[in-house]
A and B are shown apart, each in its own frame.
Chain A
Amino acid sequence: MTPSLLRPLLVRAASLLLVLVTVLVLLVVSLGATGFSERMLGAVIGEELRALRISLAETITDPDALEVALAARRAELEAAHGLDRAWYQRLPGMVLRVMTLDLGDARTMRTFDGSNRVADIVLERLPNTALLLTSALLITAAIGLSLGVWLSTRVGSTIDRVVSYAAAISYALPAWWTGIMLILLLSFQLQLLPSGGMHSSPPPEGGLARFLDLALHALLPILTLVLVSVGPYVYVVRTITLGVAQEDHVMLARAKGMPGHVVERRHVLRVAAAPILTGLILGLAGSLGGSILVETVFDWRGMGRLYYEAIVGTPDEGLIIGLTFMFTLLYVSARMILEVLYVLLDPRVRYGDAAPLRS
């Protein structure tokens, strides 16, 4: 990669890193200022002291001596965790803890093999969420691109108007409610697809059978995510492509006698690619939020469902912080991939120092 490609990428990377740090600081500041982190650490220390009391009780029989020993240990632990300092003095440590997902143990949640470390639980769920999100994103992109480009040549036609309305409805659909409707219709009424979960119980034997079973269970959640994001995306693609197709350079390419498909590909789509990609990036933010709700509805054992479980019932701060951070990290990483594509696609970003063209 040439330096000219590198520079704008570094700028974007720095900007996204700033996003990550800002979110982190926002997380820990709000935790500190509301006293949440204090309670969290207090709980960790209390847990440790309880264990210590039991083991010490075997050697120390004098109750007063036991209390003294425990109090000394408590002070030690509080100093170690920084509870003797104000919350803002603990900020750097907290940021580090969140970044490494060193958030202690979850209250009730466990991994499938029994670990109760927040990091283990969150990381175990990550692939499941990534599976849903990437499938939905790819399908949305494929439909959005083909349908949007096709529509851009038919602006003002009946089908264009129909799709405009459909896009508006698609945007107005809450993802989770759409999921519920699909369950009511396809699972309960027509009994076509499973209503939730990731596997049948018991799961079928054999790699392929297991995969197909998973795919079957993933169908409704993915369909839901696609339904709520594809409409606006088709519309964005259509409008951007239309805008480019009306530009002077396209007219000139035709005047030059370039064949229709070359004009379409090289002079319309190639130019529209970068802003169309931006539309996809913006849609990703929506899908990410949507996945929290959709996983909840479909009992899909991803980070979103975990988030829901960590909020209702007994709230679990460690998990909530870890998940919020992971969602941000996931989003920022996806953004970075798309930024690389963007820089490759649009020379204006590559050379110019001006902000990329955002539609």
Chain B
Amino acid sequence: MTLLTVDDLHVSYRSSGGEVRAVEGVSFELAGGGEALGLIGESGSGKSSLALALMRLLPKGATRKGSARLGDLDLYSLSSERFRTLVRWRELALVPQSAMHALNPVLRVGDQVAERIVLEGVPRRDASRRAAALLERVGLARGVAARYPHELSGGMRQRVLIAMALALDPSVVVLDEPTSALDVSIQAQIMNLLKELKRERGISMLFITHDLALASDLCDRLAVLYAGQVRELGGADEVLGAPRDPYTQALLASIPRLHGKERPSFLPGSPPDPREFPPGCRFEPRCPVAFAPCRAHAPALVELGAGQTARCWHHQPLPEAAA
């Protein structure tokens, strides 16, 4: 049962050097009841803009096009006040990127979790109790609710942020690189916590990361983003087991393996300037298997069966002009 539908989403910013096209025509669906979709991309691929666009938190001066539906709510046609009361945190919660700065430094963390519950009309005392229970659920000791953020470690803060996201039992949680600032051991603990929550509470997740391996651990489906576009979208097993897009292949090849003979191969070059994309395929300048049509013509995202799609001239009929 599809819960979240994003259709042809565009986000662009104005800058002194021209228009920055951060997200261009991204579409995906997310099923309710605990599906996790991984959005994978390097920095600058547009994945964070995507999260902000979903929460309607894009900065002033950003332009957004396209549509997003959550259940029977059209996210972009709601008034901002109705979006705030109906969608934010009730339906759509966010675990932000930087645990270091995402908490208010002068409020006790318990109050920060409870404040949104109070907004729903719950008495303060009950809200605090619920906040304490949530903090306990994510593995924090009882006294933590009365602490200030600077007294907590990075991992503890990230747990607070997760507890906060659960405050109103949302149907979808957007996780924006929730573990990128943490040590590997803490990272594993947080990932386990997320898996538990997903299973136990049936919360659907949009997991945004640059780490393909991390995403494969949690997600049912994966979408690989590059230069503002989806390169490949499909079930996690298909995308990881049989990647069809050269960019996904390159990403996979760059992951070091514990057992295995191949040495990781790193992708040369850097992503294109978002103010001036190449006219053809955006991955063409770095692509190891690029051929003539790639330079001049942009490939479309095409279905390759079993719900897997990819954006590559190797998997679709060549344009007539090139043929």
Q: CB atoms of A and B under 8 A apart anywhere in the complex?
A: yes
Which A residues fall within an 8 A CB radius of B?
247-249, 251-259, 262, 266-267, 270-271, 273-274, 345-348, 351-352
State whether A254 touches B57 (Cβ < 8 A): yes
- Which of B87, B102, B105, B150 contacts A252, CB < 8 Å? B102
Which B residues fall within an 8 A CB radius of A?
55, 57, 84-85, 87-90, 93-94, 96-98, 101-107, 115-116, 119, 148, 150-151, 161, 164
Total A-B contacts with CB atoms under 8 angstroms apart: 75
Q: A248-B97, A248-B98, A351-B148 are in contact. Are A259 and B84 (CB under 8 A)?
A: yes
List, in ascending order, chain B residues with CB within 8 A of A270's CB.
104, 106-107
Report the separation of the CA atoms of residues A259 and B116 in the bound assembly, to the nearest whole angstrom.
10
State whether A348 touches B105 (Cβ < 8 A): yes
CB distance from B66 to the nearest CB of A (A): 20
CB distance from B144 to the nearest CB of A (A): 14
CB distance from B117 to the nearest CB of A (A): 10
List, in ascending order, chain A residues with CB within 8 A of B102's CB.
248-249, 252
List, in ascending order, chain B residues with CB within 8 A of A252's CB.
94, 96, 102-103, 161
Report the separation of the CA atoms of residues A266 and B112 in the bound assembly, to the nearest whole angstrom.
10
State whether B150 touches A249 (Cβ < 8 A): no
State whether A258 touches B116 (Cβ < 8 A): yes
State whether A253 touches B104 (Cβ < 8 A): yes
Report the separation of the CA atoms of residues A346 and B150 in the bound assembly, to the nearest whole angstrom.
11
CB distance from A272 to the nearest CB of B (A): 10
State whether B104 touches A255 (Cβ < 8 A): no
State whether A267 touches B89 (Cβ < 8 A): no
- Closest 5 interchain pairs by CB? A257-B88, A248-B101, A347-B148, A248-B102, A255-B94
State whether B119 touches A258 (Cβ < 8 A): yes
- Which of B90, B97, B104 contacts A267, CB < 8 Å? B104
CB distance from A335 to the nearest CB of B (A): 22
Report the separation of the CA atoms of residues A254 and B85 in the bound assembly, to the nearest whole angstrom.
11
List, in ascending order, chain B residues with CB within 8 A of A255's CB.
55, 57, 88-89, 93-94, 96
- Which of A256, A262, A345, A347 contacts B164, CB < 8 Å? A256
Q: A257-B88, A257-B116 are in contact. Are A347 and B94 (CB under 8 A)?
A: no
List, in ascending order, chain B residues with CB within 8 A of A249's CB.
101-105
List, in ascending order, chain B residues with CB within 8 A of A274's CB.
106
List, in ascending order, chain B residues with CB within 8 A of A267's CB.
104
State whether B89 touches A348 (Cβ < 8 A): no
Report the separation of the CA atoms of residues A9 and B238 in the bound assembly, to the nearest whole angstrom.
62
List, in ascending order, chain A residues with CB within 8 A of B105's CB.
249, 271, 346-348
List, in ascending order, chain A residues with CB within 8 A of B107's CB.
266, 270
List, in ascending order, chain B residues with CB within 8 A of A251's CB.
57, 96
CB distance from A62 to the nearest CB of B (A): 82
With CB as the reference atom, state the residue of chain B lying closest to A253.
B104
Report the separation of the CA atoms of residues A258 and B102 in the bound assembly, to the nearest whole angstrom.
15
- Which of A258, A271, A345 contacts B115, CB < 8 Å? A258
